[in-house]
Each structure stands twice: as C-alpha cells, then as structure tokens.
Amino acid sequence: MLRQITTARFSQLSLVQQAQRRGYQSVNGVYGYRPLPKRIFRVADEVLQSRNAQGNVYRLVEAYRKHGHKLATVNPISLKDQQSLTIDELNPQYYGLTPDQTVQPQGLISAPLLPVGGPATVTELASLLQEIYCGSAVSAEFDYIENLEEREWLAHHFEQLAVGKQRQQSDFTVSNDARRQIAELLIKSQTWDNFMAIRFASVKRYGGEGAESLLPFYWQLLRSAAQAGIEDIVVAMPHRGRMPLQTTMLNMRPAKIFHKLSGESEFPDDAPAMSDTLSHFHTSEDLEVDGKKLHISLIRNPSHLEAANPVSMGKTRSKQQTVGDGAFSDDPEKPFATTVLNVIVHGDAAFAGQGVNQECLNMAYVPHFEVGGSLHLIVNNQIGFTTPGERGRSTDYTSDLAKTIQAPVFHVNGDNPEMVVLITQLAMQYQRAFRKDIFIDMNCFRRWGHNEMDDPTFTNPSVYQIIHNRKSVPDLYTEKLVRDGVLTTVQAEAMRTDYWNYLDAELKLSESYKPEANYFKKQWTGLTSATDQLTVWDTGLDYQLLNYIGHQSVQLPEDFNVHPHLLKTHIDGRRKKLDSGEKIDWSTAEALAIGSLMYQGHHVRISGEDVGRGTFSHRHVMLVDQKTNEMYIPLNSLKGGHGGKLEVAHSILSEEAVLGYEYGMAIDDPQKLIIWEAQFGDFANGAQIMIDNYIITGETKWMDSNGLVLLLPHGYDGAASEHSSCRIERFLQLCDSKETAPDGDNVNVNIVNPTTSAQYFHVLRRQLLRNFRKPLVVVAPKIMLRHPAATSTHVDFQPGTHFHNVLGDPTINADQVRKVIICSGKHFFVLDEARKTKGINDIALIRLESLCPFPAYELQQELAKYKQAKSFVWSQEEHRNMGAWSFVRPRFECLIGKELNYVGRAEAATTATGIGKVHKREVEEIIAKSLN
C-alpha cells in the first residue's frame, strides 16, 4: 500500500492549503467561495520503513521521477540525439549502489510491476525505471509538486500505466474494440483532410495532419467524463484540427462547411450576422457517450491565439453556478467540476508565448475564479508559424508554464494514439481526484506549413525532410493493427471509402443546405435580436421596496466589528439618505440596482481589482470585520424576493484574462448581470483583444449576444495620462452607429456617460429587463461618486422612470438662450458651476448621456426649445483627437442639421498632462472658450 487516506470524503488538500497561505478573508466562506474540509494524508508505516532502510535505492527511484523525462524519446520528429545524453543522478553508482545488489522494491516503486513483488537487483530496478520514465511513448514531470499525496498518487498510477499495459497487470489497457474505434477516427481525420485538399485545393483549412491523435484524446476524454458523471464540457480550442474534430466527433454536418465554402453564410438569411471564418466555427451539441448524456460546448475562437481560454473558464463557472456546483451548492463538501468540466487545448508556440496563459493559470485557484481545475492538452507540433520551437521560448518544454501552479505534465508521443488514450484516462483520473489543472503535452508535427498554401521548407528544411519522408499517424497505426490481427486492410480501406463517399454526398447536399438558427435557445429562450428602433424601458420601482433594499445593503450581524469610519459615513450615512429620499449617491444607487435585480431573482457578479470597496473607496458592498478579518456581503442576506445572489470577485491584477472570463459568464446566461470594473478606465487597453474580438464583435460575427457591463472610471482631474481617460474615442470607433441615419437598439454596443446616480441605476437595471442583450460600456465617474450635484432623489427611481439618453437644462429660460453647449459626463458639472459663478443666463447646457446609440431624436427635441440660439458648441475635457468630438460632430451635423463647433484641449499624443499648472490652465481655457 503506497498511501493512506484517513478520511473517506472528498477534499482538496493542496487548494485548501493555498487558500490558507493566501489568507483569503473568509474562514466560513461567502457566496461563490467555500474552503473545503482538510483531508489528512500520510504514507503508510511499512512504506516509510522500506524507504528509510533503503535510502540510497529510494534516492535512485526519486531521481528517475525527477530527471527521467530528459532522456525520454517521445518526440516523433526530433533532431536531437537523446540517447547520447547522460545524467549522473540516474547512475546507481552515484548513490554507491552496485549492479548485483539486492533491493526490496516494495514501498519504493509500484510492487505489481516487478515479479510477485519480490526482491530484485539494482540493475533490474534501474532497467524498469528506464522503461517507465525514459521511454519512447510517454514521460512525466511532477517532482515539483509540493503536495505529498499528489506526488505519491502520480508516481503510483503513472508507473502502473507506463509498463502495466504491456504486462497486462494494470487497469490501463485498450481493448481491441477500442483500438478499432481509434483507427476509424484517425482514418476519418486523414480522409477529411485529403478530401478537402482535393475538392477545395485553395482553402486554408488548418488541418490536423500530423496531429491526428487529437481525436483519440477527445474520444477518451468524452468516455472518462461520462463515466465520472460529468454532464457538461466546455472546450477552448485553436483553429488547427478543429474541423476534423467537429465533423467526425461533434455531429457537425460537413454540408455546413461546404455551404460556407461556396460563399454562403453559416447563419439563416434573416440573421443580422456578418459571419466568420471556418476555423472559428462553434459547436454546442448534446452527445450520447456510453449510454449517458453529455453536452459539449466548443467556444468561439478568434485568430488571436489562446484568447478563448479565459472565456471557456468563465462559461464553465457560469454553468457551475446554474447547476449548483461546488461552492454554489448547499453541500459543504461538494467540490467544483462535479458535473461541469473545463478543457483547454493549446498550440505549443502560443502556450509558451501568449501572456494570457499565465493570467489564466494564475486565476486557476483564486476564489470566485476557480472552476475545479482544467484539463489541458498542448498540441505540440513544434513550430510556431515558421519559428522552430526552441526559438519560441526560453524554457526546455513548451509546457513549463504549467509548473507555476504545480500542475503535473505528461509528455506523450503523438505517433502512439493508444498511449494518448491511456494518458488522457490517467489525466482525467488525477483531475477527478484532486480537482486541479493537469497538462498533456502531445508531441506531434505539422505536415504542411502554417496553412496548406505555405512551404515550410523555406525556413525549416531539416525537420521537414523527416516529416516528408515518414508515413502518417493513421497509416502507421493501421499497419500496426493489421500486424496485430485486430484490423484487416480491407476493413481499413472500407472505413476510408465509406467516409469519402459520405463527404461526397454531403458536398452535393450543400447546394440545398439551409443553416439552422442555433441562437436564442435553451437559457436564451425568450430573448431576441434588437430592432432598428430605440426603445424606452420602465426600470423604476416602488421606493418603499428600494428603501428596504438599501437598508438591507448596510445591515450587519450584531457581532460584526465594522470599521468606525464606514459606520459613520457609509452605513449611517446611507440610512439617512434613504430615509430622507434625498442626495442618493452613486454607490447607494448601485446597491439599489443590484439589490433590486437580486430581489427579482437575478444573480449579479461584479469583478475587478478591489471591487468590494471600489478603487475610490466608495462601494463597500463587501465589508471586513476589523477583528476577525471575516468578509460579509450584506446584500446576500436580503430577505424576501426570489433569491438572487451577489458574487464579489476580487480579481488578480490582470485585465485580459479577467475580462475574457467575465465575457464567458455573460454569454452563458443572459439572466445574470455580469459587471467588470477597471481600476482606472485607461487600463481596459490591457484587455483590448477581448474587447475587439469578443465583446464588441461577438454578436455581429457569431450571433452571440452578451450583456456584459464594463465600468471604466474616467475624468480629467490632474492625475496625468495613466489615470484620466478610458479612451472613449476607441469604443466609439468600435461601434456601428450610423452617421447619416438614426440609430436603433440594434447597435453593437451601448456606450453611456451618465451624470446622475439615478441614471446609473436605470442603465444597470435595463441590462436585464430588456428582451435583448447588448454589452454596456459605462464611462464611470471618479469625483462624481461623491459630487452633491450628481445625486438623485427618491422621485427619480419611482415606477415610470427610466434612463434618459439626453438630459436637458431646466434651469434656464429657453427664450433667452443664444448658445447651446452640448457635453457629456463630469465636464457638465465644471461648466455648470462656472456658468453659475459668472451669472450667465443665456447659455444652455445639454448632457449627452448616451453616446451610442446616438440619440438624434431626443437631441432634436431638446434643441427645438431654443429657438433664438445661433451657436452650438461641443465642449469636452479630452483632447481634440480623443473623446467624443469626432463621433458626435458628423452625427450632429447630418441628423440635426446644424453646424457644431469644438471647444476642448488641442490635439495631443497622450491623454493628459502630468504638469499641475498646465492642467489648471487648460481647464480655465476650456471654460472660458465654452462660456465666451
């Protein structure tokens, strides 16, 4: 017996230890996070005695576990001579051992691997260790894992797998029936690529040739998942080999692909989608595996490599929340990934090169981001575009990043599809046992260049001489099965011919193929695409209910030790504002919006760096006991209503992966409000890949709606270039608002710059109350969070109230107005204060609260009041080549029919000056020019 577990219940010792080291602020747990009970592990006494008695022999065993992978020959196209390498630690003499010395392997290595578990010589033991850890089929790295139980588990099971198959003394075997199924998958994959090469010779298909063992990986993955009770798998995968997978295993009809290749859309004719390339196709399919139902979701992927990975993690967690998995369940011992599993497939160069992978791994065990571990496969074709693998990284292996989170790595030879199947089986067993990330590094090759039109010999002649002179993986495996008497040549040829004929038939049917509408189904049922009309949604609520929710948002247990400053300013201050119904500030309005949606049964999640208190210490939706350090989220104790919960997710210091994660949650369930807050709006550019390729364009390309909210603090306060602008101009450039015709709800993104707390309340609630979903970019405030003029009264929240795209100027006599200044956001308050100070009564200030969709009709209505006005000005605090000026001007002049003049900062390369005196002078000049 190699190990002893003193408790039968499931636990995650390593994750619990990490959480305790981290000092996460909840011993008892909060919604979405719960520490699992500790599991005690110790090595059996007889094993320890054997190891202590044979210390030097055990050092040799451990050396092979640590260094054996360096001598393994798992690379099918290696240019290196692994056999010539020597490692002193693997020489028995290094430990003073002689070749004929007798050892007792019991307790040192898995006993069933040696005859009857009896004694052996050092030479026999070393030979066996060489076979296990330095073979040509598979090797392993796990010595760096701190947790003893995991190391013992991995050593025991890997040793059983590595030689147990040949000795028929292990559970890791592949039946002849399974071997035939594997052969058929490989043949189909090869036939698909051959068919495409002949029928569509000029298409860049990013085929799976050289990496056909990808399909046996999925074959075993699905079976292991079904046997483990997994009901839903969410997969992120790059473009290479994607089409063979979807057409051979995931029920995608080839006619759909051929229809696309004829120049048609993959969506019905009435779908308002611009569509995308074949290599980005999505699959959401119900499968039946070994008699069990299993749903698989293949995430949409842009060509930005690895970008889909955090999206898959977020979608996985959303599904886990929906089904009550892990910390979302009432079972205190239920781990994550009980029924929903995340799987991520990487390219080798991309995994080593793309920083989003480090971010994703860093999130793996962070509270409120954990998904119960992901299963990773690296399709290691050993070249990135044209760059050889060793020039694409500084580490020995492309998988070395996995070591940052102590994830075990199995290196497997892609020429050996049976070992790929077996190592996948082992990886799934480990993942189920420990709920941690694990990696399979499948060493294979890319038969052609980066795409099938490219000649790879230009830059890699030596390795491609090997590739072009060798047989394919399907051919090698088919020949092996024929030699073993498992398959006949006639049967193999029949598999190939039958599939070719099927593809030919699908090609003919593609002419009449009609794409199905696979959107707005399941959890999206009842929602629809937005129309070309601008609609208004009543988002107000009875103030008596809102007052109750507001009080609940600061209700604490009697024994909770709140910070004295927060007791005075946040808790008592909020109660007074609510009871008076006056001066309701930004954070209170946010709490009312979130709490009311929860009351109506919606879950809400807000993530970002320090979002519990907020960057500007205004939110305090999460409070910390000043004596116990325990977290408490008052809104989650909200009584009454329909049970919505608030998850406060303090994120790692990352933008790209975190925002991708939140997008993944938003595309999964439209009934959840998902909010991401940047620490400062400027920092959103760290997530530009997610913004450009998913959030802004996902619906246009793929019919994937999302209601994700981005809060981007913005405002010129003299804080220099890195803390002033959320780059409004970039988001406006990304929207599809029209310059020459009125916008409707069907714009691709909503961009708002609200100036009152009630406006913010209504725009948040509107996200879930509409019958369609659009991403929302909120140009969020900084000084306005506490600005008295930005507050609202109870009247602004009552039934019948809603978000106003334009706010007029009720303080001025319209008949006296000679100039109208249109502005947006915090700049309004600067102008208004100066106007009052100067006693100006002939200038009106109109606030553009919605930038996209551009509210031409509401703006026309407001401007119609000022019949004597001769001058119309757009005033902004941003530089002329930034802000909303370039967006507003053509729409104003085309749709309103009046000339619009500019007042603001001059053009600049950076968003704001870092010189205090210059900043002050610029503000004064803008005010003077605006009010002149």
**What are the start-end ranges of the H helices in 603-694?**
656-668, 688-690
What is the pLDDT, as a whole number, of residue 105? Answer: 86
What distance in Å separates the CA atoms of residue 764 and residue 597, rounded to the nearest whole number? 9
* pLDDT surpasses 70 at 379: yes
Q: Which residue, among 203, 145, 142, 136, has the nearest Cα to 163 in the 3D structure? A: 136
- Tokens encoding 715: 């405002």
- Tokens encoding 366: 């962070």
Q: Which residue, among 737, 656, 643, 726, has the nearest Cα to 692 in the 3D structure? A: 656
Q: Lowest mean pLDDT: which of 13-17, 24-28, 421-425? A: 13-17
* pLDDT surpasses 90 at 29: no
In order of their start, the domains of the chain are: 45-165 (no CATH), 178-513 (3.40.50.970), 543-797 (3.40.50.12470), 806-931 (3.40.50.11610)
Q: What is the mean pLDDT of residues 895-924?
A: 97
What distance in Å separates the CA atoms of residue 903 and residue 880, rounded to the nearest whole number? 8
What distance in Å separates the CA atoms of residue 410 and residue 425, rounded to the nearest whole number? 12
Percent over 90 (pLDDT), the chain = 86
User: Checking DSSP bridges between strand 138-141 and strand 292-298, what pairing results, if any?
Assistant: unpaired
What distance in Å separates the CA atoms of residue 162 and residue 137, rounded to the nearest whole number? 8
In sequence order, the β-bridge partners of residue 850 are 752
60-75 pLDDT, tens digit each: 999 999 999 999 999 9
What distance in Å separates the CA atoms of residue 650 and residue 611, rounded to the nearest whole number? 6
**Torsion sign over Cα 497, 500, 506, 510:** negative
What is the pLDDT, as a whole number, of residue 115? Answer: 54
pTM of the model: 0.95
* pLDDT surpasses 70 at 211: yes
- Tokens encoding 878: 């941003």
What is the pLDDT, as a whole number, of residue 383? Answer: 83
Reported confidence tier of residue 384, pLDDT bands at 50, 70, 90: confident
What distance in Å separates the CA atoms of residue 856 and residue 894, rounded to the nearest whole number? 10
What distance in Å separates the CA atoms of residue 405 and residue 396, rounded to the nearest whole number? 17
What distance in Å separates the CA atoms of residue 544 and residue 15, rounded to the nearest whole number? 44
- Tokens encoding 597: 């949606």
What distance in Å separates the CA atoms of residue 133 and residue 141, rounded to the nearest whole number? 9
User: Checking DSSP bridges between strand 673-677 and strand 604-608, what pairing results, if any?
Assistant: parallel
Greater confidence, 191 or 455? 191
Per-residue 3-state assignment (H helix, E strand, C coil) for 272-299: CCCCCCHHHCCEEEEEEECCEEEEEEEC
CA atoms within 13 A on the CB side of 295: 11
What is the pLDDT, as a whole number, of residue 792? Answer: 98
What is the pLDDT, as a whole number, of residue 169? Answer: 52
In sequence order, the β-bridge partners of residue 103 are 120
What distance in Å separates the CA atoms of residue 157 and residue 410, rounded to the nearest whole number? 12
User: Checking DSSP bridges between strand 4-5 and strand 709-713, what pairing results, if any?
Assistant: unpaired
Specify whether the CB–CB gap between 754 and 694 falls below 8 A. Answer: no
Specify whether the CB–CB gap between 577 and 584 falls below 8 A. Answer: yes
* pLDDT surpasses 50 at 303: yes
Burial class (CB in 10 A: 0-12, 13-18, 19+), 36: buried
In sequence order, the β-bridge partners of residue 379 are 347, 442
Q: Which residue, among 672, 671, 673, 691, has the nearest Cα to 681 in the 3D structure? A: 691
Sheet containing strand 850-852, strands side by side: 646-650, 604-608, 673-677, 709-713, 776-780, 750-752, 850-852
Average pLDDT, the chain: 93
Centroid of chain to Cα 540: 33
Q: Which residue, among 415, 409, 628, 535, has the nearest Cα to 853 in the 3D structure? A: 535
> What dihedral angle (degrees, nearest 10) is formed by the CA atoms of 744, 748, 753, 759?
60
Q: Is the peptide bond before 474 cis (omega within 30 degrees of 0)?
A: no
What distance in Å separates the CA atoms of residue 659 and residue 665, rounded to the nearest whole number? 10
100-132 pLDDT, tens digit each: 999 988 889 875 555 545 788 999 999 999 999
